[in-house]
């Protein structure tokens, strides 16, 4: 057993998800025990700065260095806090904070930058730390995302059920899992970014409330409105939604500029604020279901949702309705908690597992998901215990 801390702050930039887990086995026998899970909100000024950088505001190299170190410090503090009243962890897997993601183009590699450098976290915590998970996959021509699919496969596949594991964070991403009893089940895993999760919804709530609210709690505001389907159908014409996998995205596409365009588009319709939020929710839901209909080998028996959007009751209801519009048999939408894996901390758990695999030389990517030429171990290892130095001193 290895005790590992997983750390991540995603595209919602709402805070650091920390998970303290005990990990057993390797792949087919992989098991995890969640000892503690917590979200540590960013200080408001730091969140503002990160969101500005994510929205492409220019910063100097000195400001970039300072931001990288500040994020490393708050990540290190989260690692210390999550261990309170628990035995010390042996390893940290830190995703860091994505501030820029550029999928590979025709003849050029992708690029993905996560701030909160692992070498600083290692020194601040005194715990061996693994970070920078995306670059090895990108160097092999991959998208560098989504990386949770291999972890989903070994933690959430079922002997006989076809499952979709749908993350609804700032951005949405899916992993399709064929039954484990099926021959070559691992090779038949697929996955991709589906498009906006909560990113546009959050921007809309912040716009409508002058910043006094940052999200639509439980989807109550959207539930008071009616989605404008013609607008959703117009937005779904965006090339991203037609693009076959492998594909990844971020706030670079579904961020502030896209939101401003949505605002301009609604001017032609007399939408209430509830209608506007219902319509943005419908875009998230319709982009998910359309990608299943277009790119899955078959529709799943069950959809398991995770990420903050899994708490949005209106979104969950609309997803279930949309999924079952054409389906003969009812496809239930459940939170991953229902199958024993925390919907809130699944991504943090995933990076704990990816670090654990890196430490054992086990690859972390699935080439059929990211499009990388080969499977590779993911992450840079930063050691604080140097065996050589100990042997010289002793
Ligand atoms: N009770 C709730 N009701 C509705 N929405 C919620 C609720 N709690 C959280 N959310 C939504 O979830 C978002 C945060 O989700 P999450 O932490 O999964 O995003 P993330 O991990 O940063 O994104 P990504 O997975 O794209 O990196 C919030 O910004 C909010 O929109
Ligand atoms: C560059 C980046 O941070 N991408 C995120 C984003 O947020 C959701 C989706 O897009 C996913 O592909 C990815 O993160 C998760 C943890 C992943 O790599 O699986």
The residue to mutate among 101, 173, 347, having the most atoms of ligand 2 within 8 angstroms of its beta carbon, is 173
pLDDT tens for each residue of 244-276 = 999 999 999 999 999 999 999 998 898 999 999
Report residues whose beta carbon is within 6 angstroms of any ligand 2 atom.
Answer: 10-11, 98, 101, 112, 145-148, 167, 169, 171, 173, 193, 248, 250, 347
- 344 Cβ closer than 6 Å to some ligand 1 atom: no
Residues 24, 105, single domain; the answer is yes
Geometric angle at alpha carbon 225, from 221 and 231, rounded to 5° = 115
What is the pLDDT at residue 389? Answer: 39
**In which element (H, E) is residue 137 found?**
helix 135-139
Domain's final residue, options 339, 358, 385: 339
CATH number at residue 210: 3.30.420.40
What separation in Å is there between the alpha carbon of 199 and the centre of ligand 1? 8
Rg (the chain; Cα; Å): 21
Q: Alpha-carbon distance 278 to 226, whole Å?
A: 6
- The rounded mean pLDDT for the chain is 96
Q: Residue 287: which domain range?
A: 149-339
Task: Give yes or no for residue 7 having a pLDDT over 60.
Answer: yes
Q: What pLDDT was estimated at residue 328?
A: 82
Instruction: For ligand 2, atom 8, name the residue with the nearest CA.
Output: 171
Three-class SS state of 176:
strand
DSSP E strands, 260-374: 302-306, 333-335
Q: Are residues 31 and 99 in the same domain?
A: yes
**Which residue carries 């949405």 as its tokens?**
172
Question: Which ligand neighbours the alpha carbon of 253 most closely?
Answer: 2
Q: How confident is the model at residue 386 (pLDDT cuts 50, 70, 90)?
A: low
Could you tell me if 335 and 293 lie in one domain? yes
Which of the ligands is closest to the CA of residue 50? 1
Do residue 181 and residue 249 come from a single domain?
Answer: yes
Distance 234 CA to ligand 2 centre (A): 25
Read off the pTM. Answer: 0.96
Confidence bin at 230 (pLDDT 50/70/90): very high
Number of domains in the chain: 2
Same domain, 272 and 312: yes
CA atoms of 219 and 223, how far apart (whole Å): 6
Mean pLDDT of 311-332: 94
Taking residues 176-185, what's their average pLDDT? 96
pLDDT of residue 327: 77
Mark whether 291 and 241 lie in a shared domain. yes
CB 171 within 8 A of CB 11: yes
Task: Check whether residue 49 and residue 83 sit in a common domain.
Answer: yes
What is the mean pLDDT of the segment spanning 77-90? Answer: 97
Asked casually if ipTM beats, i.e. exceeds, 0.90, the reply is yes
């Amino acid at each position: 057993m290895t005790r590992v801390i997983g750390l991540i702050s995603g595209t919602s930039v709402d805070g650091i998800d920390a998970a303290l887990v005990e990990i057993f086995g390797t792949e087919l026998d992989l098991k995890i025990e969640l000892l503690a899970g917590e979200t540590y909100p960013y200080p408001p000024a730091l969140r503002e700065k990160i969101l500005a950088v994510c929205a492409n505001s220019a910063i100097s190299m000195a400001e970039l260095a300072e931001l990288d170190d500040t994020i490393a410090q708050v990540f290190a503090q989260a690692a210390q806090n999550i261990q309170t009243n628990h035995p010390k962890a042996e390893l940290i897997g830190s995703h860091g904070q994505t501030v820029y993601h550029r999928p590979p183009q025709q003849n050029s590699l992708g690029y993905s930058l996560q701030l909160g450098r692992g070498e600083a976290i290692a020194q601040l915590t005194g715990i061996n730390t693994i970070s920078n998970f995306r670059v090895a996959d990108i160097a092999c021509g991959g998208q560098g995302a989504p990386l949770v699919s291999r972890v989903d496969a070994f933690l959430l596949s079922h002997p006989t059920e076809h499952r979709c594991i749908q993350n609804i964070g700032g951005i949405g991403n899916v992993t399709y899992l064929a039954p484990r009893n099926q021959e070559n089940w691992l090779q038949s895993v697929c996955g991709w970014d589906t498009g906006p999760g909560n990113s546009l919804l959050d921007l809309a709530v912040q716009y409508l409330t002058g910043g006094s609210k940052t999200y639509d709690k439980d989807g109550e505001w959207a539930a008071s409105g009616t989605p404008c389907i013609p607008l959703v159908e117009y937005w779904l014409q965006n090339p991203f939604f037609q693009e076959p996998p492998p594909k990844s995205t971020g706030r670079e596409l579904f961020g502030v500029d896209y939101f401003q365009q949505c605002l301009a588009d609604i001017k032609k319709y007399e939408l209430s604020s509830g209608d506007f939020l219902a319509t943005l929710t419908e875009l998230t839901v319709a982009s998910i279901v359309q990608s299943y209909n277009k790119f899955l080998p078959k529709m799943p028996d069950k959809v398991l949702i995770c990420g903050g959007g899994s708490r949005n009751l209106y979104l969950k209801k609309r997803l279930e309705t949309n999924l079952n519009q054409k389906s003969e048999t009812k496809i239930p939408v459940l939170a991953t908690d229902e199958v024993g894996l925390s919907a809130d901390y699944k991504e943090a758990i995933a990076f704990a597992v990816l670090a654990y695999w890196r430490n054992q030389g086990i690859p972390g990517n699935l080439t059929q998901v990211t499009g990388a030429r080969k499977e590779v171990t993911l992450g840079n290892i930063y050691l604080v215990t140097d065996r050589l130095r100990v042997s010289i001193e002793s």
